[in-house]
Structure formats: C-alpha cells, structure tokens
Structure 1
Amino acid sequence: MGSVYPTTTGTALLSPRRSPVPPAAPNTPSEKRGEATISSPPSLPRRSSSLHKQLITKLRPLPLQYHWAVWHSKPDPQHQYILTPLVDDVSDIGRFYRIFNNMPWLQIRQNDSIHIFRAGVKPLWEDAENQQGGRWLIRVRPDNNRAIRVWEEICLLCCGGELQAAIAQGKHKPPSALVLATG
C-alpha cells in the first residue's frame, strides 16, 4: 500500500491529501441542512485581578545571577565609617524590589552611603574582592527624584548582570558592588 502523502514536488503539494479517517456523519438538524454552527467562546476568568493574583502566587520570582547584600555606612565624629548590614541576601528580582521600594531614600543624611555588594564581600578596600577595584562617580542633580531613578537603573543593571555589557566592550571582571553616597 502506498503513502497518502505526496512524494513529488510541484502541483502535487497543492492537492489535498486523503484523510485516513472518513468524515463524521452530521448529528444536528442544522448540520444535516448544511448550515454552519457557531460554538460559544471559551470562558474567561471573571476578574483580571484574580488572574493576576493567581499568576503572582504561582510564579517564582526571577533569580539574579549573584546574591547581593545591602549595607549602610555613616561617618562617626572621628570621620571613621560605621558599617551596618541591612539585608544579607538579595537573590531574586522580587526581593530586590521589596527592599528598593521600601528604602527611605529621601531620609538618607548628608555623607551617608548605601552599598550593594555581592554576598560575602564587605564594603571595605581591604576585602580581597575590592583590592583590584575602582570606582565610578556619577553626579545627578537631586531634582524630581531623578537621582533615585538613576540609582535604581544602575542597581538593576548591576544586579541583573547587565551593567558590564552596558558600559564597556571587552572582557572585564563583572562589578561586585554599587554605592550611593550623599554629600
């Protein structure tokens, strides 16, 4: 017995192929008369908010390439900096935004700093990860919360593993820290 599929090129590909299963007999009076039937559309969720809530609770937050830690530093009267760890494990984008959105950005005092370092790296030059490091200085006018928006974008680029690609061509060691310093 031969194949039901065409094996040649040309117009043979345009001809309909034979179906191995015969068509079903019409069941309803409208089908017997040759009239088309319209099926009802699929049912949708009653509220989009319930669908959104289901998606949020079912989906796992996107993991970050590295785990990050958040530190706060402020100078003491002898001009030494006091380091305080705020959060020790930022491992996914959901946790990043829970921290970022609840940080009192407008209450950070003059000369205070917020540090975001890879977990396990301390915001000190003496740490082995920082000995070959450097720093960038980006000045942004503090009008209309623009500085906070720039800081958020830079944090997302760094924590998401995209900052190195955004700033330089070539093979460099990925950054291990970000610091927001006021003053």
Structure 2
Amino acid sequence: MDGCDRTISLKDDDSGDHDQDQGTPKDSETERTEDEDQSLSKKKMVVPAAGEHPLQYNYTFWYSRRTPGRPASTQSYEQNIKQIGSFASVEQFWRFYSHMIRPGDLTGHSDFHIFKEGIKPMWEDDANKMGGKWIIRLRKGLASRCWENLILAMLGEQFMVGEEICGAVVSVRFQEDIISIWNKTASDQSTTARIRDTLRRVLNLPPNTIMEYKTHTDSIKYSMGRLPWTGEC
C-alpha cells in the first residue's frame, strides 16, 4: 500500500466556513437564512450506501498547509484549511484514504485532520473548547504507520470513552512529526487517562515515550492571539 502513488483532491473553497458581515438582516431574512442553513446541512449529511458497513459516527477529512514564519491569524487558518470530504461507512473511508498521500510523504508544514462531522479542527469550536489533546512527538519515518493505527482505532471505537473523542491530527514538521487526539472534556481525568493508555497500546509505544496532555484553554492562552494551528504547542 505504501508504495503506491497517491494524490489529494481538495476543494477550491472552504465550504462556506467564513463568517462574513453583510449588515443587519430583517427578521424574516434571518429566519429564511437559518431554515436554508438547516436544509443545506441535512443535504450535506453523508449516509452509508446499501450494503456498506456504517461507522458509529460520521467523520470529515481536512487538510491544511502554511508557510512557517508568516503572521498567523484565525482568518488565515480558515483560508488554509480545506475539507477533503466526509464519510459514514468503512467503505467510504477507504475510498478517501486509499487516494491520499501518506503523512510520511508530505513536505513542508502540513496537517491532516479527521474530526467528527460538524466539528471543526479548531480550539474554539464548541465541541473542543472545554477539551484538550494528547500529543506525541515522533521522529521522522514513523508518522504514516502511527497515523493509520490511530485513525483506525478511533473509527473502530477502541478508546471506549463514549462521545468524548472529537478527532485526530497528524502534523508534519521539518524536524519531527506530531500526532494528537482531541477530546471534549479536559477536566475528566479518568477519561483522559483511558485515552492515554489506549493510545499507548494501539500505537505500540515504548514505555519511555513522552506523552503530553494539553488543554485547548492553555493552547489559546499560549498562542496570545496567533492562529489556532493544530499541532502547535
């Protein structure tokens, strides 16, 4: 599998994630817009095809890339992150994954994100803002295998923490790669401990592997207004 050529098909837009100030609409216009948004959301919801094996949750693949050293902002983050597509079954997942380049073959400052449908890979998202992430820094050459093991464990509900898991990220950097898994409730220590132990098992990590848990609140404070870029610590 790893020897095959793979490309990423990315949308040219950001699927309407930007909030634009278009003045104050009338009440009737607001109601119509909300109705249209709900209708559009329902249309976009992916479902398993007949005979496919459904996942417990729907997920969305995202991709982002930026030039290190450039001034960062939430707006630039929104412009750089792209939806690859959503899936609801095992078969739909493999159709995306089999055509995507592996993290170990990416260059530059790139990230793959896989989050439950409806959750943006941003600290400030309602599903993420009270949560945090387990972070593991990898030497070069390990990212592809670890990423695949991580997302298969997540899709297969191996973490056994109910609805706590929000998504996972692999961040390709020049000297190292970083993988992380995000959960909803940073204050739930028993849940974060279970995620840590499961992560160590599914990735077959050596006992001396350093694993860091970081709350998104701390990440936001640390960033001091810089963009909410996944994988930065």
Q: TM-score, normalised by structure 1?
A: 0.57
Which runs of 5 or more residues in structure 2 are unaligned?
1-49, 174-233
Alpha-carbon shift at residue 67 of structure 1 (Å) = 0.1
Select the structure of larger CA radius of gyration: 1
Letter in 2 for 1:174: E
Letter in 2 for 1:179: V
Structure 2 counterparts to residues 72-111 of structure 1, below 5 A: 72-76=63-67, 77-80=70-73, 81=77, 82-87=80-85, 89-105=86-102, 106-111=104-109
- Closer/same/farther in 2, CA of residues 172 and 97 from structure 1, 3 Å limit: closer
Distance in 2, Cα, partners of 1:108 & 1:123 = 19
The structure where strand makes up a greater share of residues is 2
Letter in 1 for 2:154: C
Which runs of 5 or more residues in structure 1 are unaligned?
1-58, 166-170
| Conservation of the 8 A alpha-carbon contact between 2:143 and 2:170 | no
Correspondence for 1:131: 129
Distance in 1, Cα, partners of 2:163 & 2:115 = 14
Distance in 2, Cα, partners of 1:79 & 1:72 = 17
Correspondence for 2:157: 161
Distance in 2, Cα, partners of 1:160 & 1:91 = 12
The alignment partner of 1:136 has SS state of strand
The alignment partner of 2:132 has SS state of coil
Matched, 1:150 2:143: no
Q: Name which structure has the greater RCO, CA cutoff 8 Å, separation 6+.
A: 2
- Identical-residue share of aligned pairs (%): 28
Alpha-carbon shift at residue 172 of structure 1 (Å) = 6.4
Q: TM-score, normalised by structure 2?
A: 0.45
Q: CA RMSD in A?
A: 2.0
Alpha-carbon shift at residue 124 of structure 1 (Å) = 1.2
